[in-house]
Amino acid sequence: MHKKYHTKFNANITFIQLNQDIDATGKITHSMSFEAFHYPGKFRNDIGPTPHKEGYIVANDIMYLFKDGKIVSQKPCIMDVGLLTGDIYFMTVDKAIEECKKHGYDLSKFREDVFHGKPAYVVGAKDKLDEKSPQFWIDQEELYVVRDINFSEEDNELEDVHYLEHAKVENAWVEERVEIYVNGKLIKKEHYAEVKANNELNLEIFNPQKIGAVHWRAK
């Protein structure tokens, strides 16, 4: 996985995310957001339809929440999705291993399985019945992440994220649909539109002091 994409992966990616949040009654709420990743370690989510209005930035393992163009709070943040879908390809092997362990994945536990009819490698859980150990699943053919499972003892919640409908974008495969399950129930669907990679991004969009001043979507 690391060997295949190291130094070859897309440096960044931008897209419009179309969301369907599903509550306990089955009611669906629609929303959208503008998202940008720059690997490693930078992410911005503007909750639409207007950039700068509300959202958050993740940089240097800190999440900055903003509203009306101003930072309203910040907190430490370890973001699995960025690590597994891009960050590790811009790290040395040793650093990638260190980060995976920091996120709770036991790299000594490994097995083969099947996900949506395709062979997959499972890292972090050796037993098929183990749903509580942090684990990620990798497509055996193209070596991209297709599933990420984490269990919260504090909340007694099992989060199961499915990365689906991958398409080749520039140098890498990118999921265009995501489903999020909590304790076996589907709570959110995400669809990605206008997916673009290796953009000429102004990195100031990830600077919390520049909220409201610059954005990748600006013309």
**Domain CATH number, residue 88:** 2.50.20.10
Per-residue pLDDT band for 81 (boundaries 50, 70, 90) equals confident
Q: Which residue has the tokens 């972090």?
A: 124
215 in a structural domain: no
Residue 16 located in a structural domain: yes
Look at residue 216 and tell me if it is in a domain.
no
Q: What is the mean pLDDT of residues 140-164?
A: 93
Q: What pTM was computed for the model?
A: 0.92
Q: Which range of residues forms the domain containing residue 131? A: 2-210
CA separation for the pair 155, 170 (Å, rounded): 39
| Cβ atoms of residues 118 and 139 within 8 Å | yes
Task: Report in angstroms the alpha-carbon separations of 211 from 46, 64, 78, 140.
Answer: 10, 10, 21, 40
Helix (H, G, I), strand (E, B) or coil at 34: strand
Token couple for 127: 């037993």
Residue 126 reports pLDDT greater than 90: yes
How many domains in the chain? Answer: 1
Average pLDDT over residues 8-12: 93
